[in-house]
A = this chain, B = another copy of it.
């Protein structure tokens, strides 16, 4: 098959998956690819499976494989830049899967204030918080202090527990009675445009 045709169809397929959050049926692919034969589509899909763009799950249903995921990971900056022709071999991933281990227990919070600025968490950034992870010393946590929620470093030193901001103009907080931890910060997300 012509490589250009292959890539064109792959692109249409990817677009359909992004738009509809599911893969099209063979009949639908007929329309998408301007074909009249489901068999042609069937063979095209087998090529996609060979090249690991899509897979079949236990039920024989088509599901997207890793290569159909939204983001290509290009590696380190200094390592030089892969050129466009060899991009096929690169890792692809989904940011959702990359950043979130426990979807049911994870939520996102928009940060205001500059108390974590020297940890690289700026006002307007979003943090991902996991409720299920037990906090360890050095982790960034969302904690309730004086009935207000803040983001701080969680420090545990010889049974002493306190909260330290990553900005020295704010004081260290020693909890009076009990310390309520909403969750551990597992990731940071910033959006420029």
A interface residues (Cβ-Cβ under 8 A, vs B): 11, 14, 18, 20-23, 25, 28, 57, 59, 61, 63-64, 70-78, 80-81, 90, 93-96, 98-101, 103-104, 106-113, 117, 120-122, 125-126, 128, 130, 133, 139-140, 142, 144, 148-151, 182, 184-193
Contact = CB atoms under 8 A, between A and B. Distances in A.
Contacts of A104: 11, 14
B187 A191 contact: yes
Contact of A96 (B57, B94, B109, B140): B94
Contacts of A20: 57, 61, 63
Determine the main DSSP class of A at the interface with B: mixed
Nearest to A129: B74
A28 B71 contact: no
Given A95-B100, A108-B71, A128-B71, A28 B77 contact: no
A112 B93 CA distance: 20
B96 A71 contact: yes
19 contacts: A14-B103, A20-B61, A22-B22, A70-B96, A70-B103, A71-B96, A71-B108, A71-B128, A72-B106, A72-B108, A76-B111, A76-B112, A77-B149, A78-B149, A81-B144, A133-B193, A140-B192, A185-B192, A187-B189
